[in-house]
Structure 1
Amino acid sequence: MPASPSSSAQAAREALAVRLQHLRKDAGLTRKELSARCGWHPSKTTRIQKGDAPPSDTDIRTWCAACGADDQADDLMATARAVDSMYLEWRRLHRNGMRKVQQDWNTLHERTRVCLVYVSNVPPGFFQTPGFATALMEQITAFQGTPNDVAEAVAARNARSRFLYEGGHRYVVLMEESVLRYRTADPDAMRGQLRHLLAVMPLASVSLGIIPFTAQRTVWPLEAFYLHDDVQAVVETLTAEIKVKQPRELADYARAFAGLAEMAVYGDAVRDLIAAALGALE
């Protein structure tokens, strides 16, 4: 697994590595001796201790047995799984297609009362029309080389839009103006997507702000992120989904969102920007 760009994920991985290293030292074993007991090359021990290689459940059980600490294996395995879930590569998540991931997102949104969203590339999933979502997911599937279940995945993503209308959810969304202008789908699908944004704007559950190209930047354009009830941020990069739960980092995302919100326009100014983007498609 590549090193995470999120310090919280990397810090958790390194903390697990330190715990394993302490087990070895408490057992009075050198790296070479531990490796011999585990039946693997000493370089594997080094990679695990540095946090460069995530240990499997089998690795952890073998390590604990070698150190005479079998009673700690279950706790360490649970910790390793939690660390692993913080940084998940899209190819791994989509190895059987995209539908399951979309359903998991729906479960997260069902639990969320207030979701702060910033996007700089495409509208958030709960705002996407089927036509736009299909075009986007087909591009992602082709790029990742993962199984094509786009029709099922689009249906699952479209189901998320129900939270705009039920359950007392609140979505505060900031978009860069580029989101309105990028030709992610064909002109007809883009027109449908832009008109849909106009349709959802009046909903009581929605606050939509657009950061114009002309805004004087106080916060630079960022990767897309979703802040769920101030307890978890989900960050989307090209290669991975990163879950951030460390309070210091959550505070950074909240502060960034506040700064981005100050640069945004709202109400009629948003409608004007969407109308201009629609006009550019003619």
Structure 2
Amino acid sequence: MSTDFQSARVALGARLRELRAEAGLNGKDMAERLGWQRSKVSRLETGKQTATAADLTAWAQAADAPAEAADLQSRLRGLESHQRSWRRQLASGHRAVQDRYVAEYRHTTTLRGYEATVIPGLFQTPDYARHLLIRNAELMQSPRDTDEAVNARMKRQDVLYEADKAFRVLIWEGALHVLVCPPDVMAGQLDRLVGLIGMSTVSLGIVPLGARLKITPKHGFWIFNEDRVIVETVNTEFTLEAADDVALYARVWDHLDEGAAYGPQARRLIGRARASLGYA
């Protein structure tokens, strides 16, 4: 079973546990309401068993939260394939996707990433994230659960402060200048990036405009624990686990890294982007 699949199943189980607790029920009470064995409730909540669509509908009813059934069904569909349509994943909003990433990052020790058009979610400020999520909800015509999604995205960042983690992230300089939010929000986001430079768990490189590179800047991608890659397109999220695919993306990252700026030079590039907004 892939770690990606299991992380999503654990996140689904955590949401089931939340709904039960919000209804004021313990595990025994829930099992009695559903007519199940207590062990099944436990397995679903801990991510040791995959719920069926009928299980999730029954759970929402038993937790006195029938309106949550659609969200639970959306999370279940996210388990089905390594090629996940954003339209299906976002059928009930963004929070489910963010919760899955929280679980994913908790099980990740090393992460190498590259973004060409956006500040990575792992480094986003709440205000910057809010504007991105609103724009994306408009694009995908998905339900608005912006506050919940922002909170979940910020929770993902807890891993930055865990000593056993290592995050090596590259950002194409152009992403520092893309205004998908008001200038003051972008200035705050750039300040956040500067603050990350020098963290013991973070290695942040900026690939400058005009850098001499062996390859052209590609789409964003993330290499988790050197054994799988996640790639996001406009309409789909792909998880690649074949050794050849992982090795290919590792080489792309290495080539981009050769032209990246770090430390003081990275600070200057971020400062230049901030100055272009009219902030000294």
TM-score (norm 1): 0.70
Q: Which residue of 2 aligns with 1:238?
A: 234
Write the mapping of 1:86-105 to structure 2, written as runs, cut at 5 A.
Answer: 86-105=82-101
Does residue 1:111 correspond to 2:114, yes or no?
no
* 1:203 corresponds to which of 196, 199, 204: 199
SS of corresponding position for 2:194: helix
The amino acid across from 2:120 in the alignment is: P
Write the mapping of 1:22-33 to structure 2, written as runs, cut at 5 A.
Answer: none
Distance verdict in 2 for CA 1:82–1:185, change over 3 Å: closer
Q: Which residue of 2 aligns with 1:187?
A: 183
Assess if the C-alpha contact under 8 Å between 2:173 and 2:207 holds in 1: yes
Per-residue CA deviations over 1:79-115 (Å, capped at 9, x if unaligned) read xx99951100111111010001101011111100000
Assess if the C-alpha contact under 8 Å between 2:196 and 2:204 holds in 1: no
Q: Which residue of 2 aligns with 1:214?
A: 210
The amino acid across from 1:245 in the alignment is: E
RMSD: 1.7
Q: Which residue of 1 aligns with 2:256?
A: 260
Q: Which residue of 1 aligns with 2:121?
A: 125
Write the mapping of 1:1-282 to structure 2, written as runs, cut at 5 A.
Answer: 84-282=80-278
2: distance between equivalents of 1:82 and 1:247?
23
Assess if the C-alpha contact under 8 Å between 2:111 and 2:224 holds in 1: yes
Instruction: Measure how far apart 1:217 and its partner are.
Output: 2.5
* Equivalences, count: 203
Structure 1: gaps (5+ residues): 1-80
1: distance between equivalents of 2:154 and 2:197?
17
SS of corresponding position for 2:98: helix
Instruction: Measure how far apart 1:167 and its partner are.
Output: 4.9
Q: Compare CA radii of gyration and give the structure with the larger one.
A: 1
Name whichever of 242-251 and 165-174 sits farther off.
165-174
Assess if the C-alpha contact under 8 Å between 2:205 and 2:261 holds in 1: yes
Structure 2: gaps (5+ residues): 1-76
SS of corresponding position for 1:142: helix
Per-residue CA deviations over 1:48-106 (Å, capped at 9, x if unaligned) read xxxxxxxxxxxxxxxxxxxxxxxxxxxxxxxxx99951100111111010001101011
TM-score (norm 2): 0.70
Percent identity of paired positions between Structure 1 and Structure 2: 34
Distance verdict in 2 for CA 1:82–1:101, change over 3 Å: closer
- Runs of 4 or more, structure 1, over 2 Å off, are 81-84
SS of corresponding position for 2:81: helix
The amino acid across from 1:133 in the alignment is: A
The amino acid across from 2:190 in the alignment is: L
Per-residue CA deviations over 1:124-161 (Å, capped at 9, x if unaligned) read 11100000000000000000000000110000001111
Distance verdict in 2 for CA 1:274–1:82, change over 3 Å: closer
